[in-house]
Chain A
C-alpha cells in the first residue's frame, strides 16, 4: 500500500466530516452496551449482511525518525470487520480487541456511502454526545498537563533563536 499525505477524513455529498470519521475518533469513549445498542438499531433495518466476521489482526506501525528515515516501531492489535448494506460494502478497523466497534464502524461506513442519513440519525446523536464527553475529558487532562508547565527565570538569556521554528506556542 502506497500512502500519500491525504487527509484522513471524507467529505460526504452533504458537506462536513463523515459520521464514520467522527465515530472513529470517539468510539473508544463509548461505555459498555452503547455500541451494542447502536448496532441493534442498525441491524433492525434488515438491510445489513456481515461479509467478514470481526477478527483481530495486526497493523505494523511505521514512523519516521528526525532524519526522515522510516522504520517499524512495532505492531498494534486491531479489530477488523466488513459489512454490506444492500450491495454497498463497508469496512471497520479500530485499535484493540473490539469486535462490536469494528462492526459498527463498518455498518456506518456502508450506510453512509449509500446515503442513508435517516438510518444513521441515532448514531449521529450518539457521536455528538460522545464528542462532548471526550472533549470534556481531553480538556481536563490537557489542563492538568498544562498545570505542570515550568518556566525558568534566569539573568542570563540563552543565545537561541526559537523564532526560527516559525511558530509560537504561547
Chain B
C-alpha cells in the first residue's frame, strides 16, 4: 500500500477559516480588545501563559482572542510563536523568597509570621451567579474602587518579603532534605533543548510540570489524592505574587532587574517520608506563571507523588506523569485523528473483508 497524494481543497480551507472568523466576530456584540481580555479575563490569560510556557500577557490575550476562548488552542498558538523568537539568554537563578506576595495562606499553621493574606480571591464567597455583572458600569466600578482605597488608607502596607513557612520545618529537622525524583540528579536541563529521558532529573521534571496543562495535571493529582496513590497533601504555604526577573547586561556585566512576573507557588507537606534517617515530612513543590492555584497545588502533589520509591499507581510513575501532562502534545495527538487516515483505514477494511470472506468459506465447507 503506497502513499496517496491528495490535491484540492485550498479554497474550502480558506472558506473554513473565514467561517471560523465569522463565528467569533460576526455577531452583534462589540469586538473584544486584547487589553480587555488581559485585564478582565486574567485567569484565562494566566493559564495560556503558563501552559504555553511564555510569560507575555499581551500576546496571551491576543492568542485567547484568536482561539475564541479555547485555552488549549491559545497555549498552542503562543508556544508556536515562541519558536519564531531568538533566545537571548537565561535569567539569573533566583529563590522565590524574593517574591512580593499579594496572597499567602497556610493550611498547616494558622499563626504564621506576617499573618495569612487572602488577597484577590473568590474562595471564601458563595458561587452564586452575579446578575449585576450583566449591566456593570465603569462609573460604578470606579466609585467602588475609590471607596475601597479610601477605606484602606490607614492600613499599614505589607512588608516587601515574608519568611517561608517550610523553612521553619526544615530548621527543626522535620523535613526530608531532598526529594528522590530522578535519582537525585541535580543537572540543570532545559526540556526545550533536550528531549526528556527517564529517570528525568529534577530540573526537567519541574520544568515539564510548570508548563503542564491544568486539567490533565489536576486529573492525575486528584487520582492520587482520592486513593490511587499515597499523597495526603497539607498546604504548608500557597503564595501568589510577583517575582523579579534578573538578567545580566552584556555591556556592563551587571545583573539588572528587568521586570517582574506574576507567579503562583505551592508547597505541600505530605505524610512522613520514607528516609534512611529519622522520620520526617516530605514536601511537594509547585510553581507556575500567573495566578493558577489549582495547577500549582496539582503540580506540588504530582512532584511529591513521583518521588515515591516504588510507583504503584500511574500518578506515582514519573514517566507516566511527565509524558501525559503537556496539553499541546496531548491535544495535538488527540486531534490528529481528525486528519485523513484513509490509507490505513482502507487497509484495515480490506483485511476485515478478507477475514469475513474466509469465515464464510469455512462455514460453507462445514455445511
Residues of A within 8 A of B (CB): 1, 3-4, 6-10, 20-21, 24-25, 28, 55-78, 80, 82, 89-91, 93-97, 109, 113, 139-152, 154, 157-158, 160-162, 164-170
Contact across chains for B113 and A165 when beta carbons are under 8 A apart: yes
A59-B258, A75-B53 given; name 4 further pairs at CB < 8 Å.
Answer: A6-B255, A75-B82, A141-B102, A165-B164
- Check A74/B50 contact, CB under 8 A, given A143-B155, A150-B118, A164-B172: yes
Answer whether residue B259 sits at the interface, using C-beta atoms and an 8 A cutoff.
Answer: yes
Answer whether residue B167 sits at the interface, using C-beta atoms and an 8 A cutoff.
Answer: yes
Contact across chains for B252 and A58 when beta carbons are under 8 A apart: no
Contact across chains for A78 and B88 when beta carbons are under 8 A apart: yes
The answer for the CA separation of A95 and B88 in the assembled complex, in Å, is 12
Stretch at the interface among B9-17, B103-111, B310-318, B342-350: B103-111
Contact across chains for A77 and B91 when beta carbons are under 8 A apart: no
User: Secondary structure at chain B's binding surface: helix, strand, loop or mixed?
Assistant: mixed
Q: What mask results when residues 241 to 285 of chain B are scored 1 for a CB within 8 Å of chain A, else 0?
A: 001011111111011111111010001000000000000000101
In the complex formed, the residue of A with least CB distance to B111 is: A158
Contact across chains for A144 and B148 when beta carbons are under 8 A apart: yes
Query: Pick the contact of B258 from A4, A65, A95, A109 — CB < 8 Å?
Result: A95
Residues of A within 8 Å of B203, CB to CB, are 69-72
- Check A56/B256 contact, CB under 8 A, given A71-B206, A72-B190: no
Contact across chains for B94 and A67 when beta carbons are under 8 A apart: no
Count: A-B pairs, CB below 8 Å: 264
The answer for the CA separation of A163 and B178 in the assembled complex, in Å, is 24
Answer whether residue B39 sits at the interface, using C-beta atoms and an 8 A cutoff.
Answer: no
The answer for the CA separation of A146 and B258 in the assembled complex, in Å, is 26
Q: Which 4 A-B pairs have the closest CB atoms?
A: A95-B259, A169-B114, A77-B56, A142-B157
Residues of B within 8 Å of A55, CB to CB, are 86
CB distance from A74 to the nearest CB of B (A): 4
Contact across chains for A145 and B119 when beta carbons are under 8 A apart: yes
Residues of A within 8 Å of B112, CB to CB, are 162
Query: Pick the contact of B91 from A20, A76, A94, A151 — CB < 8 Å?
Result: A76
Residues of A within 8 Å of B54, CB to CB, are 58, 74-77
Contact across chains for A147 and B155 when beta carbons are under 8 A apart: yes
The answer for the CA separation of A83 and B312 in the assembled complex, in Å, is 59
Query: Pick the contact of B245 from A76, A90, A167 — CB < 8 Å?
Result: A76
Contact across chains for B163 and A167 when beta carbons are under 8 A apart: yes
Residues of B within 8 Å of A89, CB to CB, are 251
The answer for the CA separation of A56 and B81 in the assembled complex, in Å, is 12
Answer whether residue B162 sits at the interface, using C-beta atoms and an 8 A cutoff.
Answer: yes
Residues of B within 8 Å of A95, CB to CB, are 55, 245, 258-261
CB distance from A16 to the nearest CB of B (A): 15
Residues of A within 8 Å of B92, CB to CB, are 3, 62
Contact across chains for A57 and B156 when beta carbons are under 8 A apart: no
CB distance from A22 to the nearest CB of B (A): 11
The answer for the CA separation of A28 and B289 in the assembled complex, in Å, is 19
The answer for the CA separation of A94 and B88 in the assembled complex, in Å, is 12
Contact across chains for A148 and B118 when beta carbons are under 8 A apart: yes
The answer for the CA separation of A69 and B179 in the assembled complex, in Å, is 10
Contact across chains for B117 and A161 when beta carbons are under 8 A apart: no
Contact across chains for A59 and B168 when beta carbons are under 8 A apart: no
Query: Pick the contact of B152 from A59, A69, A146 — CB < 8 Å?
Result: A146
